[in-house]
Amino acid sequence: GESVGLHLPTLSVQEGDNSIINCAYSNSASDYFIWYKQESGKGPQFIIDIRSNMDKRQGQRVTVLLNKTVKHLSLQIAATQPGDSAVYFCAEGYALTGNQFYFGTGTSLTVIP
Amino acid sequence: GAVVSQHPSRVICKSGTSVKIECRSLDFQATTMFWYRQFPKKSLMLMATSNEGSKATYEQGVEKDKFLINHASLTLSTLTVTSAHPEDSSFYICSVPGQPQHFGDGTRLSIL
């Protein structure tokens, strides 16, 4: 399968600061990317997605940036809150099928009150 | 509301027991579902694709006879861990296809 990796396994930020989580993907043919949040003992929860025809997409307090040239994906969380503490995964796949996705190793985000 | 329901959420059993995990699609009929395995502090590893009306497609390295998958209907897929051993202890998660893919809340399997 594709190789999707994250640069930093852990990240600690002060409450109220912005967080940036990075991800590198290896399959240049992937055209659909998703960020998931996983809390302890639960399944992944969808945060935001982006297709390869875009380089930026914004949601509520979150922004995903896609750089296809260097195959890099990032998730920005504005005004990080304690409830944002979790493990964050990026996943890559194909929009046409919506099928198999391959996940990166994950980044554990800890928000310090 | 929930899109995917997974049951049980936790199971503890003795070595040698077979354990069945159910994954239900609540909002739509799913001809495929996906099964993942996750070790502590690790990422999700795709195990297999469950196909309604046909055999499951397993990822390389996943034992078909150990992890039996049945896609009984368009809303139900089951994963049976046969003759489970302690090394099968893990967090198993199912998902349904889509944009984005939605996941169940997982099953924590502990084999004593």
pLDDT at A81: 97
How much of chain A is helix, strand and coil, in % rounded to 5?
5, 50, 45
- Both tokens of residue A27? 């399959």
The distance from CA B96 to its chain's CA centroid, rounded to whole angstroms, is 11
Residue A34 and residue B6: Cβ atoms within 8 Å? Answer: no
Whether the CB of A99 is below 8 Å from some CB of chain B: the reply is: yes
Q: Which residues of chain B lie closer than 8 angstroms to A41, CB-CB?
A: 106, 108
State residue B2's pLDDT score.
Answer: 64
Q: What is the DSSP code string of B7-52? A: E-SEEEE-TT--EEEEEEESSS--SEEEEEEE-TTS-EEEEEEEET
Chain A residue nearest residue B6, CA to CA: A43
Rounded to 5°, the CA angle B6-B8-B11 comes to 140
User: Using the 8-state DSSP alphabet, how is residue B87 labeled?
Assistant: G
Q: Do A1 and B103 touch (CB under 8 A)?
A: no
Q: Search chain B and give the residue with CA nearest A51.
A: B99
- For B91-105, what is each residue's pLDDT tens digit? 999 999 887 888 999
| Regions of chain A where pLDDT drops below 70 | 1-8, 97-99
Chain A closest-CA separation from residue B99 CA (Å): 6
Q: Are strands B102-103 and B57-58 parallel, antiparallel or unpaired?
A: unpaired
Whether residues B108 and A41 touch (CB distance < 8 A) is answered with: yes
Please tell me the total number of residues recorded for chain B in this structure.
Answer: 112
pLDDT at site B66: 97
Q: Is A102 exposed, middle or buried (0-12, 13-18, 19+ CB in 10 A)?
A: buried
Residue A2 is predicted with a pLDDT of: 44
pLDDT at B94: 96
Partner-chain contact B43 A89, CB within 8 Å: yes
Set of chain B residues whose Cβ sits within 8 Å of the Cβ of A104: 43
Tell me whether residues A43 and B32 touch, CB distance under 8 A.
no
Helix (H, G, I), strand (E, B) or coil at A83: helix
Q: Dump pLDDT digits (tens) for B36-84.
A: 999 888 889 999 999 998 999 999 999 999 999 999 899 999 999 999 9
* B46–A101 CB contact, under 8 Å: yes
How many residue pairs bridge chain A and chain B with CB atoms within 8 Å of each other?
Answer: 56
